[in-house]
Amino acid sequence: MAAQDFAGRRVEAIVGAFTAGQARARDIVEGVLDRCARAAPFNPIATLDAAGVRAAADALDARRQSGGATGALAAVPVSAKDLIATRGLRTAFASRTMQDNVPTADASAIGQWRAADALLFAKTTTPEFGHKVLTDSPLHGVTRNPWNPDHTSGGSSGGAAVAVALGLGPIAMTTDGAGSGRIPAACCGVYGLKATLGRVPHEVPADQFGQLTYLGVMARHPSDLGAGLAAMSRGHAEDPWTLAIGRDAFAWPAAAAADPIAGKRVTVIRRMTGGYLHPDSEARLDEALAFLDSRGARIHELDGSTVDWKLDTARLILRANQVTRFGDLLRTRRNDLDPSFVRTIEEGADVDIATLRQALLDRTLAFRAVQRLFADADYLLTPTVATPAPPATQDQFAPLVIEGKPIGDLRSAWYAYTIPFNMTGHPAISIPFGHSAAGLPIGIHLVAPWFAEADLIALAEACDAHTGASARWPAGFAPAA
């Protein structure tokens, strides 16, 4: 079967070529599988389902040839993070303790993508149970940055970011618990969206009302974020947050709207807590501000240290949930677990009831603090992370070192910018905006009021037209002209 390399093509173009009979689903899939083989040194794939996706593609081709209807993602190759349940396809959570786990049902969002005729070809790498913002695990090894393999891909959706950056399908499904979809997007030079709480069903977690983790979408082209989100956003009866906003899916393409930049009030927060910001990251932030200013945005800078972001609140809630979920594993399979995961769970064991109760109250305070910022802003703009991607050997618990100088732990010194908005529910996006002097991608991070995903995507499209980020490729992976 001949392969066709559709890397770099937008979702709309792939669907159009397939439905018009200009390309077979099987040929599109073969092109992606070829790329998967080439991408192996960067290690983005946890489980490849070559046989399954070929069979699905052949069935879709047969349906089109017989005149049957096809869905909004027809023939689009997609991947999903190894934390998301996929029927009949191993979901190992990057853990030796789950390496034989094959779910009997899809997560709702995966089922929706399949119903839209997307072709799921792989599960992407993550740290064990998604516990950190670097992507390595004893089960799958180290996932490396596509722009420089000596550096991390970020995490915990690192495999998804590498896959999208290298053209392994136009969209990938992610999870985001404290920035896990946006951080690797920034490290790898792609677009990563965390939607509003309840926009995408995430019915699996036991604590539905205390949700901090979101299913998200990553893409090379901003418009593909909209296509992916629209196809995964119908509500689910067991996710109360989706019930709260109704059952209508996110609409894409969005109705014609006002300019996403002109006249918009942008509050800029350079340093969330007054800490370190890499000179290259600050320079790219300044370039983004100059672009927004040239397009008529009304820009205001805010000293981030004047806001109580309750950064430790998210950690306490996550750790308490993790020790409840994984405490038995720690007792029975400790030697099979990643040592950094063991340490993470042990942190949760130290959270007492009074501390947890205060953290739950503080989550409301964090929400109110962010809501007050939106009284005078249409967007909040920050770096996505404080520096370009750290080394691939970075330890989760070791200080981040820049030019020989420790600048603090990863949570407070590197990715403080993304954490608050998992607590508050606001939609947020990482937008690639240039590279460092060493050639590593740098992202800017925008946050909007609840349900304003379409505005964030439209703004990202305007940025992409300015930067050309979607047309930039790591060495050796640009599609043939």
Which domains does the chain carry? 39-47+75-307+369-471 (3.90.1300.10)
Share of the chain above pLDDT 70, in %: 99
Residue 247 has pLDDT above 70, yes or no: no
pLDDT digits (tens, 9 = 90+) for 433-450: 999 999 999 999 999 999
The pLDDT of residue 242 is above 70: yes
pLDDT surpassing 90 at residue 255: no
The pLDDT value recorded for residue 256 is 66
| pLDDT at 249 (0 to 100) | 82
Using 50, 70 and 90 to split pLDDT, how confident is the model at 244? confident
Please give the mean pLDDT across all residues of the chain: 96
| Lowest mean pLDDT, pick from 227-241, 252-266, 371-385 | 252-266
Residues 445-462 have a mean pLDDT of: 97
| pLDDT at res. 272 | 92
Q: Answer whether residue 88 shows pLDDT above 90.
A: yes
Question: pLDDT-based confidence at 274, cuts 50/70/90?
Answer: confident
Instruction: Please name the residue that has the structure tokens 């899939």.
Output: 29
Which pLDDT does position 471 carry in this prediction?
98
**Could you report the per-residue pLDDT of 167-193, keeping only the tens digit for each?**
999 999 999 999 999 999 999 999 999
